[in-house]
Amino acid sequence: MVSDDLTGKIAVVTGGGRGFGKAFGHALAARGAQLVQLDLDEDAAKAAAAEIGHGAEAICLDVADEPEVERVMADIAARHGGIDILINNAGIHSAEANEFIGTLGTARTRRMFDVNIWGVIYCTLSARPFMAARAGASIVNISSMAAYGAQKAYGVSKLAVRGLTVSFANELAPDGIRVNAIAPGLIFTDTVRAELPQPVVDHVMAMQILQREGEERDIVEAMLWLVSTSASFITGETIRVSGGATLQI
């Protein structure tokens, strides 16, 4: 387990109200980071921050709203003196979004791309000036196993996140900011258990080399390593956490 002390670090987590975002917040705060949980669902963000404790803050934010993203990042930096860690976790990822673009429709596809792609761009560019030259500054994007062999709209959006990770790693390197991504496989969160049909679960499990259920802790540990000093020579990479399922693609 990564045990780097993050005391004094300012960590911003988008989509922080539930799921991975809330789990990331718990782990970062437990290591001493000052947490700011951002989520479109203000009640969820506040509930998550209260559960995390350690002085965690909650802010309502639509990551697809560029002016508001710029305002919020500037406000966080002004109050805390900067930003050290940004986790671009917010995304539209419901089972019904995993359709061909023609089936999903242009309006719903555009909204998903606005959040999953442009949200990463807006948050990264808005946080950049407040992360520049801060020791250990790190951005972690959340891609997906669906980005490998992507055919449907959701997978295409997460393929774009992989590309953005490489692009921003190059662009932000002169500022001393590392940029990496995690591509989770089938992780058995409450949402996944409720949404995914059993035949889909069986299909993905059959692709895995490791025959156990993926857990939130698997993704959390990958995130903690990427933001730690242990990964200080790692940038532009997407770490696949899929039990080996993506090796079949």
Residue 132 has pLDDT above 60, yes or no: yes
Our CA angle for 166, 159, 154, nearest 5°, is 150
80: three-class secondary structure by DSSP: helix
60: helix, strand or coil: strand
**1 pLDDT higher than 80:** no
Please state the pTM of the whole predicted model. 0.94
Whole-angstrom distance, CA of residue 74 vs CA of residue 144: 29
What are residue 184's phi and psi, to 5 degrees?
A: -70, 145
Q: Is residue 197 part of a domain?
A: yes
CB 69 within 8 A of CB 130: no
Structural domain boundaries, residue 199: 10-248
Q: Considering the domain boundaries, does residue 3 fall inside one?
A: no
Query: In the predicted model, what is the mean pLDDT of residues 173-189?
Result: 94
Q: Is residue 234 part of a domain?
A: yes
Please report, for the domain that includes residue 233, its CATH number.
3.40.50.720
Residue 228 lies in a domain: yes
Between CA 101 and CA 153 the distance in angstroms is 5
* 51 domain residue, yes or no: yes
Q: Is residue 5 part of a domain?
A: no
Domain presence at residue 2? no
Q: Which of 148, 154, 168, 225 is catalytic?
A: 154
Q: Judge whether 63 lies within some domain.
A: yes
154 is annotated as an active-site residue? yes
Domains in the chain: how many in total?
Answer: 1
Which residues on adjacent β-strands are paired with residue 36? 12, 57
DSSP label of 180: E
Contact partners, residue 87, CB within 8 Å, separation at least 6: 11, 12, 13, 14, 21, 24, 139, 140, 142, 223
What is the pLDDT, as a whole number, of residue 4? Answer: 82
Q: What does the pLDDT look like over 205-238, one tens digit per residue?
A: 888 899 888 899 999 999 999 999 999 999 999 9
Comparing C-alpha atoms, which of 78, 115, 122 is closest to residue 94?
115
